[in-house]
Amino acid sequence: MSVYFILCESIPEPLVKIGKTTNIKQRVQSISTSTPFLVKLIAICEDIQENELHDKFNHLRYKNEWFKFTEEIREFIKPYEVVIGKCIKKTKAKIETHGKPQKTKSIKQPKLEKKSINPWHFAITFIDCFLLRKYENIFISKRGITFQRDNTCIRLESLRGIIEKIAHELFPDQSEKDNVEKIVNFAMGRIPIELEKKVNGTYKQNPKVNYHIPEMEKILAEWVGV
């Protein structure tokens, strides 16, 4: 369950609602229809409890979960700020960023033995055929990446097991165990880089090249249900 900060451009002063929900999009819509003022999601916290924030800003409380939107709160939410990113065409997911993501180090592509599967293509296939189809929203922040579907949020780290399972299906031979470890580690480092490229508009592919691994596409299509 995520804790949100929703700003209301009320008069004479702006107010911010600090609450928790399992469906942020639905909550924003609900608040928007119940007030004549403009409202928008400005921050999401996943590592702080709602009651802790209410206590912290109790001196700014206007009424119930509504607080005066002061400089103190502005400074506090900077690491958690939400900036609406670009909606990726031909996919279901909407990607958003919370503030400025940390600069990701370049990930060197490993050399795999025996089987000719491109590790970068593995990461691209997982993003396009699983993440962007399965999840409705993807939140990127300097604290990590979170995927949301219906009322469920999951971190990228929690998907490592799925990535490992796919890799094992592509490399079923026990002698190729090293390949599994290499490709999984590479994918976990490469996925954030490629998602950030989609947000800032620098994600480019050569239309003449198929970046998807057909065998992997079939596996993921069954998992996603498409």
pLDDT digits (tens, 9 = 90+) for 14-61: 999 999 988 887 888 899 888 888 888 888 887 789 999 999 999 999
Instruction: Report the pLDDT value the prediction gives residue 109, as an integer from 0 to 100.
Output: 64
Which of the 8 DSSP states describes residue 106? P
Strand partners, 170: none
Predicted model pTM: 0.57
Asked if the model's pLDDT at residue 170 lies above 60, the reply is: yes
Tens of pLDDT, residue by residue over 128-166, are: 888 888 887 787 776 678 887 776 778 888 899 999 999
Instruction: Report the pLDDT value the prediction gives residue 110, as an integer from 0 to 100.
Output: 66
Instruction: Report the pLDDT value the prediction gives residue 88, as an integer from 0 to 100.
Output: 33
Task: Please count the other Cβ atoms lying within 10 Å of the Cβ belonging to residue 208.
Answer: 5
What are the contacts of 151-158 at 24+ separation with CB within 8 A?
151/22, 151/23, 152/22, 153/1, 153/2, 153/22, 153/46, 156/188, 156/191, 156/192, 157/188
> Mean of the pLDDT values across residues 81-103?
48
Asked if the model's pLDDT at residue 114 lies above 60, the reply is: no
